[in-house]
Structure 1
Amino acid sequence: MDFMTALEVSASGLNAQRIRMNIAAMNLANIHTTRTKSGGPYRRKSVIFEAVPVHNPFDRVLQASMLMPGYSRQGSLFSESPTGVHVVDIVNDNRAFKKIFEPSHPDADKDGYVMLPNINVIEEMVNMLMASRSYEANITAFQATKNMILKAIEIIK
């Protein structure tokens, strides 16, 4: 794996974890939202990730030339291509809403119950902590790659 590919893998992880953190923050911000534009309480959202191969333009040209007639596919550089992460979708959680008795609330039904979002504070805090740690790990990998690039430039001088 070259330096640019390593940086792209780390960058994809940084972007994915930033989105994950934003969704967790949005969920926490709407923990008491009982009315949305679509009607009903806010629905908790989740992020779905997918591993995607990371190739730079040079890799594609090299791979195309290696697959030309006369070249063997054995020992290809691309048998284990590096993968990054990509956010596929942000989906609504279909768990049941919380029902609490609060007859004075403007959104209470005729029996005095209010439907609250299906958000668990502990679950969201764990998601935020995991996103934060993953983000830090990707920054560390990015910095290590950057330091290797700088050392390689020093060697060339």
Structure 2
Amino acid sequence: MSSLPIFDVAGSAMAAQSLRLNTIASNLANAESVASTAEGAYKARQPLFSAVVDPTRPDLTGVQVTRVQESRAEAVKRYEPGHPLADADGYVYAPDIDPVGQMVDLISASRGYQAGVEVLNTAKELALATLNLGK
């Protein structure tokens, strides 16, 4: 823990948003992947956050990733008899991922990360200005 807890709070938020960005990137990268079975199809992932309260400073709350949850959505069944992964009936199974929704989440996570960077930069400038008061 740093002597200025704002760095810890902003850092925890940035770490959570970074993981969120990575899971969205993984979802987008696999949006068009297919499998030969519904069970083998990629499942979209989404991190779940929870608040973390410092017991020594209950007025400060950070964030942590509790777990990464897989989607329960059924795979999309597509008829593609010429595909090498097609089953005996000619179907392949793709994940049920909405690329537009994922892009909206990506923008939101990116803005959240940028906000954390701005908090860190502002806190750093304020700390340096405080140190320069005595000069």
Decide whether the 8 Å contact of 1:101 with 1:113 is kept in 2. Answer: yes
Aligned to 1:69: none
**Where does the alignment leave 5 or more consecutive residues of structure 2 unmatched?**
none
Report the equivalent of 2:99. 121
1:87 is aligned to 65
- Kept in 1, the 8 Å contact 2:31–2:94? The answer is yes
* Structure 1 residue runs of 4 or more that deviate by more than 3 Å after TM superposition: none
Structure 1's unaligned 5+ residue stretches are 61-77
Which of the two has greater strand per residue?
A: 2
**Number of aligned residues:** 132
Alignment partners' CA distance in 2, 1:54 and 1:16 = 17
Which is higher, the Rg of structure 1 or of structure 2? 1
Which whole-Å CA distance do the structure 2 matches of 1:81 and 1:107 have between them?
A: 55
Name the counterpart of 2:74: 96
CA offset digits 1:89-132 (Å, max 9, x no partner): 01110011111111111222232221101211011101110100
Tell me how far apart the structure 2 counterparts of residues 54 and 19 of structure 1 sit (CA, whole Å): 22
| Distance in 2, Cα, partners of 1:121 & 1:90 | 19
8 Å contact kept, 2:24–2:102: yes
Residue 13 of structure 1 aligns with an amino acid whose one-letter code is A
Bigger Cα displacement from structure 2, 144-153 vs 27-36? 27-36
| AA of the residue aligned to 2:117 | I
Matching residue of 2:108: 130
Matched, 1:11 2:26: no
Deviations 1:74-100 (A, max 9, x none): xxxx5x521111001011100111111
Q: Aligned partners of 2:105 and 2:54: how far apart in 1?
A: 26
Partner of 2:50: 50
After superposition, give the CA deviation of every residue in 1:25-58 in whole Å (9 maximum; x if it has no partner): 011111122249xx61111111100010146xxx
TM-score, normalized by length of structure 1?
0.77
Which structure is richer in relative contact order (CA contacts within 8 A, separation 6 or more)? 1
Deviation per CA, 1:51-79: give whole Å up to 9, x if none. Answer: 10146xxxx3xxxxxxxxxxxxxxxxx5x
Once the two structures are aligned, what percentage of the paired residues are identical? 33
Indicate the RMSD between aligned Cα atoms, in angstroms. Answer: 1.9
* Aligned-partner residue type, residue 12 of structure 1: S
Does the 8 A contact of 2:35 with 2:94 survive in 1?
A: no
